[in-house]
Amino acid sequence: MEVNSATTAAAASAGARNSDSARQIASDFDTFLQLLTTQMRNQDPLNPTDSTEFVAQLANFSGVEQQVKTNEQLESIRSMLAASASGAVQWIGKEVQAPTFARFDGAPIEVAFDAGAPAQSAQMVVYDESDREVARMAVDPASSTVIWDGTIDGQPAPEGLYRFEQLRSGEDGLERTKPGRVFALVQEVRLSGGEALLVLENGRSVSEAEVAAVRAPS
């Protein structure tokens, strides 16, 4: 489900219509209850309502009640989804920093890493769009930002999408991998399984929880 300003407005309008429908059903429910109660109170003691007919009326009563509850639950779910989508719309047109692919067009790319536990050494590994390792360079393990100059084996890298990882070697001899975060433009918002996903210019999507920073387009 794609979300933009028009979609949000349409969702609000649909929500208002659903709310009106729910109120109408609730009103019908109250009316049905009053009629049934009045009928029972004023029935002829010498000729009471047939039990089969009474059971059928109770079944109708139960059906109306369930319809009211179902509509209330659906309205609650719709409201939660609409709120999630409306909140995520603010990201459209902004650049967010997240673990995703960066588009290389000849300019150096800034890559951010979490510092993590102390390490004796670290390397930044560069992968192309096919997840094939294309470059590796030693970096300062204490640095939270690394600049990739866009070269592979001393030659300019082809334009395209690249992602980054940091391979850290600790004092215990173990190597740990951390994903690199880059800035990418948010083009749209989609709802998937009740969660708002930010669709980026590189065609990938990330959740709001994965965003570490946001800025205006450069």
pLDDT tens digits, one per residue of 29-77? 677 677 767 776 777 666 666 666 666 666 666 666 677 667 666 665 5
Mean predicted lDDT score pLDDT of the chain: 79
pLDDT above 70 coverage of the chain, percent = 64
pTM of the model: 0.60
189 burial (CB, 10 Å; 0-12 / 13-18 / 19+) is buried
Q: Which structure tokens are listed for 20?
A: 């009106």
- Please, which pLDDT band fits residue 97 given cuts at 50, 70 and 90? very high
pLDDT value of residue 80:
53
Which run of H or E residues covers position 34?
A: helix 5-41
SS3 190: strand
- Please, which pLDDT band fits residue 14 given cuts at 50, 70 and 90? very low
Alpha carbons 1 and 199: distance in angstroms, whole number: 11
Alpha carbons 17 and 11: distance in angstroms, whole number: 10
pLDDT value of residue 30:
72
Q: Which structure tokens are listed for 46?
A: 């010498």
Alpha carbons 54 and 49: distance in angstroms, whole number: 6
